[in-house]
Amino acid sequence: MIRNIIWDLDGTLFDTYPAILRAFRLAFEDLGVIIPEEQVRDQAQKSLTLFAEKLVEQHGLDDESLWERYEVYCDDFPLEEQKPFPGARQVCEYINSIGGINVIVTHRPWNSAKRLLETYRMNEYFTFMLTVEQGYPLKPDPAMFEKVIESFDLVREETLAVGDRDLDILAGQAAGLTTCLYTRKGYETEPDLVIDDYSRLLDFLKEEK
């Protein structure tokens, strides 16, 4: 029986990609690097962080300046237009109702993630959030997942990893968790469950009970 969920945030809990892609492109444009929109969209399905690292090295850019600009542009995009995906709230509520916990493991900075949760009053559903600032290796490395499991003494067989990218699934699998991919696009991994509607995940969890 699944009692706990370790969630990704961007593209999984919230529809934030329009804001992220816009901010990413504008930040690089400010530093003189033009990136086609389609290329950024493709890389978002893998890892924009790793993509940015390659571009910074390739063009000799200042990494700190890039991410400062990125944060400014992200903040300019109205949070009201970065809504939670339909049904995500109901899944979180269900996990809480059976005595389990919801945790977020994200590459998104803490303050930005916190504002997003507070805007939609979803922070109450989450026991803990681990973000990029904590310095753990990024997904698909399972280090962030292992930290959560250790901190809350989670039973791996009772814990589900939910994400929208292959790197989320790979991290969950490496940590010995059941995995769920939320996507409407292609993928290369082999998750335990693939959904494009959170009602399917809710049904799966209730059937597991």
Q: Answer yes or no: do 35 and 116 share one domain.
A: no
Number of structural domains (the chain) is 2
Is there a single domain that holds both residue 163 and residue 69? no
Q: Which helix (H) or strand (E) holds 68?
A: helix 63-76
Question: What's the pLDDT score for residue 209?
Answer: 65
DSSP β-bridge partners for residue 179: 161
Can you read off the two tokens belonging to residue 47? 């890892």
Q: Average pLDDT over the chain, rounded to whole?
A: 93
Measured CA to CA in angstroms, residue 164 lies from 60, 63, 183 at distances of 31, 26, 5
Residue ranges in the chain whose pLDDT is less than 50:
none
Can you give the residue range of the structural domain that contains 153? 4-15+84-208
Global confidence as pTM? 0.90
Angle at 115 between CA 110 and CA 119, to 5 degrees: 150
The predicted structure's pLDDT at residue 74? 85
CATH number at residue 50: 1.10.150
Q: What is the pLDDT of residue 108?
A: 86
Q: In terms of domains, do 27 and 110 share one?
A: no
Q: What is the pLDDT of residues 54-105, one digit of tens each?
A: 999 999 999 999 989 988 898 888 888 899 999 999 999 999 999 999 999 9
Cα distance between residue 199 and residue 154, in whole Å? 25
The continuous run of DSSP H or E covering 114 comes out as helix 110-119
**CATH number where 165 lies:** 3.40.50.1000
Note the maximum CA span of the chain: 54
pLDDT of residue 2: 97
d(C-alpha 185, C-alpha 203), whole Å: 22
- Three-class DSSP category at 163: strand
